[in-house]
Amino acid sequence: MTAERDVEREVEVEYTRLRIPFGPIHPALKEPVLLRVSVRGEEVVDVDMALGHVHRGIELLAEGRNLIQTLYLIERICGICSHSHTTCFIQALEEIGGITPSKRALYLRTLIFEMERIHSHLLLLGVIAYEIGFDTLFMFTWHVREKILDLFEKITGNRIHHAMNTIGGVRWDLTPRMVEEIDAYMREVEKSVKYIHNVFMDGTVEKRVCGLGVLSYDDAVKLCVVGPTARGSGVDIDVRRDHPYAAYDELKRDFSVVVERGCDVYARTEVRILEIFESINIIRAILDRLPDGPIRPKENVFRLMRGIPEGEAISLVEAPRGELLYFVKTDGSGGLKRLKVRTPTFSNLIGLKPMLIGCEIADVPVIVASIDPCLSCTNRLIVIDQERGESNVIDVDSLRHRVRRRWMRQ
Amino acid sequence: MDAAVAFITSFPLVLVVSLLFEGIDRKIHARMQKRIGPPIIQPFYDLIKLFNKERIIPVTASTRVFEIMPMIAAAASILGASILLSNTLSGLGMIGDLILVMYLLAMSSIALMVGGLASGNPYAAIGFSRKMSMMIAYEIPMFIAIISVAFGPPAVLTIDRVIKFQISTRLPLAVSSLSMASAAATLLLCIPAAASVVPFDIPEAKTEIIYGFLIEYGGPYLALAKIAKAVSNFTLTLLVSVVFLYIPSLLGEEALINLGISLSICLAVSLLIMFATITVPRTIFARLKIGQAFKFYWMLPLALSILSIILSVIGL
């Protein structure tokens, strides 16, 4: 009853400065996050953020499993960049275990990686179109994305969770026919994305995305935003070029890092559109120069797993949303002592506040979408409890303590 | 046709036709987006389902207003549509029924706004304020355009007399003179905002404020709100087709004798108008912001409507 009265008072008293709960369930958000937006008229004056609605405790779960089980578990961290997560994890394992995958395996990993980037960027472009009320563009964009997903199914057997990586290589090989098919698909995708790019440059879209959600170069550097969000603000960073992994070292000349200096939603959108073209270039180079050889070691994967000694490694990849970091500490008997995942959205969410303040309510959804938030990635261990302005961060240890206590009781 | 019979039969006719129009609109919209889309009678299924759902009234709402307003909205728009349709059919006019229809349409959307605001939801409050600004933006040009009919060649505000005038000149009003053409253009430009479809669905933008003042409505109330919207959209398109683009007038006196033919031509024209002013904009545009929409309406349609009044006073 008191809660109800509180709500009533809030609406009545703070009428000039209305607090709008933007989430955790809101049609503009694909995943739950709570943005408490304070508005005066249509103008946003303050933003407060609360995460933790999809916290699943994956890092803790991983510590109770062996490495192969963990591989499939962390693939479920994100439904969009599942391959980035497994690649990052596998790279750390291979570094600890001193396993070198074959050239062909690395190229295939990169191929799936770039296809994933295309599908993730197309998904986001569709979401941006949807946020600004352009449903037709949303339908068109996702129509193109469907083809990429079909291609994934042809190569790996799955549309979303490809389960492509295994220790020391990949699980599925390409047949010559598939190479042709991918090539044909890429031509089709290139044509469609060119069309989508044209529509995005149309006046009706420009009116809604230009000059909005400005994140200046200085702010971008100061807040450590990553990926397309940073590149849209003129920060020239890309793990693929700066710390090459998989086959990117050999593909350096086949792509360029797209950097826009617009700093607004449009710049971030355009970075993604142009990155799709770069990804198509990379895929073509891979198909051209795909080396021969085995795709994985002959040994049983469990023997490989048990052969990984105790050790720790940090691994970096450029996920579609930006730099993804894994810290892996193995225990030497096929299990994990500690797993830490730092997803790109975690870095990028901080950038939302300077973007949002001063904009209109109408712009909030598209600005939030422009950093491509992937919240199920972000909500793993940090629980922020922000009731009535107070916020206390429950740290890792106390959370683990709590969970253990609950287990004991059961 | 007898006036009373026409009035009574037009109630169900209006309901069925406007829901069918909505179904056709949704189907074409889907096809333009490379989707299969719902069956044309989907709006009927929606209504049946919604009417069977439980009524939920939020604790923050002032119950009476919240409950009554959707009924007033639906009643007002159905009444407006029936007056328009029956006066077209029966050839019996009352003085100023054109203004009455416009008033009932505005009434219907105001009732929905007030009912939504009474829910106490902050999104509804924003939706209310947005709809208020939008109404100021589009209602003024719309009314000026209608009033310019009284200043123009027909010099009446009775639907029936306007129709008879068109038949006597054997030309639709919109092509008869420059002033009427600009008045018709004004009305056509105002339809997307009055129907609140993209790019002017700002008051109920689903990704921004979650349907604005409709947010707390569900079940039978939402069904009534949907009826109100579908019927008022239909009324707007029919209004333009009867008052400005009465194609049966090309047939001359025949149009008054073969009522069935002239009515079906009118409905076909209003379907075309709906396609051009509701389906196409909501397929090819992104949503505007309230400031941009306001600017558009006060730049173009308002200027056009004032032009039409000036022209009709001059006698062009």
Give the closest of B122, B199, B286 to A20, CB-based.
B122
Residue A299 scores a pLDDT above 90:
no
Estimate the crossing angle of helix A176-200 against helix A265-289, to 10 degrees.
Answer: 160
pLDDT interval class at A377 (50, 70, 90): low
Is A4 a domain residue? Answer: no
Is A407 a domain residue? Answer: no
Identify the helix (H) or strand (E) that includes residue B10: helix B3-32
Residue A205 near chain B (CB below 8 Å): yes
Q: Are A297 and A94 in contact (CB under 8 A)?
A: no
Q: What integer best gives the mean pLDDT of chain B?
A: 86
Residues of chain B numbered 16-55 and touching chain A (CB < 8 Å): 32-35
pLDDT at B272: 92
Got the DSSP string for A107-149? Answer: HHHHHHHHHHHHHHHHHHHHHHHHHTT-HHHHHHHHHHHHHHH
What lies within 8 Å, CB to CB, of A66 at 6+ separation is A305, A334, A335
Residue of B209, B214, B295 best to disrupt the A interface, most CBs of A under 10 A: B209
pLDDT at B62: 85
Contact A134 B33 (CB under 8 A): no
Between residues A404 and A355, which one has the greater pLDDT? A355
Please name every residue paired with A35 in a beta bridge, in sequence order, or none if there are none: A22, A49
Residue A273 near chain B (CB below 8 Å): no
Contact B199 A42 (CB under 8 A): no
Got the DSSP string for A235-291? Answer: ----HHHHS--TTTTTTGGG---------SHHHHHHHHHHHHHHHHHHHHHHHHH--
Is A242 a domain residue? Answer: yes
Q: Are A362 and B205 in contact (CB under 8 A)?
A: yes
Residue of A134, A147, A199 best to disrupt the B interface, most CBs of B under 10 A: A134
Radius of gyration of chain B (CA): 19
Contact B126 A18 (CB under 8 A): yes
- Residues composing chain B: 316
Q: What pLDDT digit, counting tens, does each position of A149-199 carry?
A: 988 898 888 888 888 888 888 888 888 888 888 888 888 888 999 998 888
Amino acid making up residue B34: K
Is A379 a domain residue? Answer: no
Residue B39 scores a pLDDT above 60:
yes
Q: What percent of chain A has pLDDT over 90?
A: 3
Identify the helix (H) or strand (E) that includes residue B84: helix B63-90
Contact A11 B125 (CB under 8 A): yes
pLDDT interval class at A28 (50, 70, 90): low
pLDDT at A17: 64
Contact B207 A130 (CB under 8 A): yes
Burial bucket for residue A210 (CB in 10 Å: 0-12, 13-18, 19+)? middle
The torsion region of residue A389 among left (phi > 0), alpha (psi -120 to 50) and beta comes to left
Tell me the C-alpha distance between A238 and B51, whole Å. Answer: 55
Residue A16 scores a pLDDT above 60:
no
Got the DSSP string for B87-120? Answer: HHHH----TTHHHHHHHHHHHHHHHHHHHHHTT-
Residue A380 scores a pLDDT above 50:
no
pLDDT interval class at B223 (50, 70, 90): very high
Tell me the C-alpha distance between A86 and A252, whole Å. Answer: 22
pLDDT interval class at B122 (50, 70, 90): confident
Is A377 a domain residue? Answer: no
Is A55 a domain residue? Answer: no
pLDDT at A6: 54
pLDDT at B235: 92
Contact A8 B120 (CB under 8 A): yes
Give the closest of A19, A20, A133 to B287, CB-based.
A133
Half-sphere exposure of B36 (CA within 13 A, CB side): 3
Q: Are B109 and B70 in contact (CB under 8 A)?
A: no
Is A260 a domain residue? Answer: yes
- Whether the bond into A320 is cis, omega within 30 of 0: no
Residue A365 scores a pLDDT above 60:
yes
CA distance A10 to chain B (A): 10
Residue A4 scores a pLDDT above 60:
no
CA distances from B22 to A241, A332, B196, B202, B228 (A): 53, 66, 13, 20, 12
Q: Are A245 and A316 in contact (CB under 8 A)?
A: yes
Residue of B207, B214, B282, B284 best to disrupt the A interface, most CBs of A under 10 A: B207
Tell me the C-alpha distance between A151 and B295, whole Å. Answer: 46
Threshold 0.90, pTM exceeds: no
pLDDT at A406: 61
Specify the range with the lowest mean pLDDT, choosing from A292-296, A325-329, A403-407, B226-230.
A403-407
Tell me the C-alpha distance between B146 and B309, whole Å. Answer: 10
Q: Are A226 and A243 in contact (CB under 8 A)?
A: no
Q: Are strands A169-170 and A165-166 parallel, antiparallel or unpaired?
A: antiparallel
pLDDT at A388: 42
pLDDT interval class at A401 (50, 70, 90): low
Contact A140 B33 (CB under 8 A): yes
CA distances from A302 to A67, A68, A357, A400 (A): 9, 8, 52, 29
Q: What percent of chain A has pLDDT over 70?
A: 85
Q: Stretch B90-96: mean pLDDT, rounded?
A: 75
- Of the candidates B239, B28, B243, which has an alpha carbon nearest to the alpha carbon of residue B152? B243
Half-sphere exposure of A135 (CA within 13 A, CB side): 20
DSSP summary character for residue A333: S
Specify the range with the lowest mean pLDDT, choosing from A121-135, A201-215, B189-203.
A201-215
Q: Stretch B214-234: mean pLDDT, rounded?
A: 90
Q: What integer best gives the mean pLDDT of chain A?
A: 81
Residue B21 scores a pLDDT above 90:
yes
pLDDT at A379: 56
What lies within 8 Å, CB to CB, of B131 at 6+ separation is B109, B113, B196, B203, B212, B213
Is A371 a domain residue? Answer: no
Number of domains in chain A: 1
Tell me the C-alpha distance between A59 and A81, whole Å. Answer: 17
Phi and psi at residue A43, to the nearest 5°: -90, 135
Looking up residue A112, the CATH number of its domain turns out to be 1.10.645.10
pLDDT interval class at B44 (50, 70, 90): very high
pLDDT interval class at B274 (50, 70, 90): very high
| Token code pair at residue B31 | 């096809």
Please name every residue paired with A38 in a beta bridge, in sequence order, or none if there are none: A19, A46
Q: What residue numbers bound the domain in which A239 lies?
A: 60-346
Specify the range with the lowest mean pLDDT, choosing from A16-20, B137-141, B195-199, B285-289.
A16-20
CB-CB neighbours of A42 under 10 Å? 17
Tell me the C-alpha distance between B51 and B227, whole Å. Answer: 11
Residue A229 scores a pLDDT above 60:
yes
| Token code pair at residue A5 | 């009265």
Q: What pLDDT digit, counting tens, does each position of B134-149 carry?
A: 888 898 999 888 888 8
Tell me the C-alpha distance between A72 and A76, whole Å. Answer: 7
Residue A354 scores a pLDDT above 70:
yes
Counting one residue from A and one from B, how many pairs have CB atoms under 8 Å apart? 89
Please name every residue paired with A22 in a beta bridge, in sequence order, or none if there are none: A35
